[in-house]
Amino acid sequence: MNNWKKYILGCTAGNILQLYDFIIYGYFAHIISVLFFPLKNEFISLLLTLAVFSSGSLVRPFSSLILGHLGDKYGRRVSLIISIGLMTVATALMGLIPTYSTIGILAPILLLICRILQSLAMSSEEVGAAIFLMENAPYNQRAYACSLILGSVFIGLLAGSLISIVITYWLTTADLYQWGWRLPFIFSAFFGFIALTIRIKQPESAEFATYKNNSNCQTYSTLKYIQVYSKSIIKIALISSLMGTSVYMLAVYIPSFLNSKTSLKLSSVMMLCSYAFALTFFLTIIVGKMSDLFVELPPKTEPGN
């Protein structure tokens, strides 16, 4: 257990990439709306672009069940390798899709398919990585381990912000609309390859191996789990929705709104969001550390008990 920190890079690398991919769509949503939904009403175009983004949320509960099941049956590492590979491919393809002026209605359809594939991957990434790292961390540092995963969310958002700032600063508006908006999406293939390589080389969780070898462990079907832990599932979903809503507002809606409805430049909007992401990262780590210090955990039990 002393070497649990060797898992940090592998767990957070994928999560950083996932949220990097997540935010660049929000930052360039106004440009995407013009290129993929060229309607006379700019508001409707932007609304359709954001609808494509939010459509992925419809498949996330189902994909989380699938990848979560794979993680329980075959290992956390397997599930995380699948999620990072799928996210990398979907995001890179999003940067290569021809626009509406080139292939017509097929352009927004392909955009929608890529977004759904992104969401399929994202469903298991954050929670799966948290479980993977937590299982390898000392029992009295598990809150800190989980805070690293949550903190990596904001590192990914910050990375997407900074790269987008550089691109919008150096390119003209015409270049941004013509080809510049594609660069952050295509860059994700490089980052994804690095994260995937790290994940493949990473050993499986020792606690998961112990769990699989324990014949006394109770196993339920998915429906049985929902019946047994329904109250806990609802509580966690409601708490998580608070964070999800705030991140979506800051990373997607606010940048699009400020860029389209105010005189602020896109680079200025990105910089404001970057400050918020950096501050939230440090606060998340601090709260994780404080939880380990001041929150008393129940006695550790063996799998199956």
Provide the total of helices (H) and of strands (E) in the chain, helices listed first: 15, 0
Nearest 5°: CA angle at 232, between 83 and 60? 25
Q: Which amino acid would we find at residue 247?
A: V
Residue 238 phi/psi, 5-degree rounding, is: -65, -40
Whether the Cβ atoms of residue 141 and residue 3 lie closer than 8 Å to each other:
no
Supply the pLDDT for residue 142: 84
DSSP structure class, residue 202: S
- Structure tokens of 16? 């950083």
Whole-structure pTM value:
0.80
Domains belonging to the chain, first-starting first, are 4-204+221-294 (1.20.1250.20)
For 43, residues 6+ apart whose C-beta sits below 8 A from its C-beta are none
Mean pLDDT by 10 residues, the chain (305 residues): 72 81 82 91 87 81 77 79 87 93 94 88 77 81 86 86 86 90 90 84 74 62 75 83 77 74 77 86 90 71 50
Supply the pLDDT for residue 297: 63
Supply the pLDDT for residue 1: 44
DSSP 256-267: HHHHHHSS--HH
Supply the pLDDT for residue 110: 95
Supply the pLDDT for residue 34: 92
User: Of 30, 33, 186, whose CA–CA distance to 96 is shortest?
Assistant: 186
- Structure tokens of 10? 């592998």
Supply the pLDDT for residue 179: 93
Enclosing H/E stretch for 155: helix 142-170
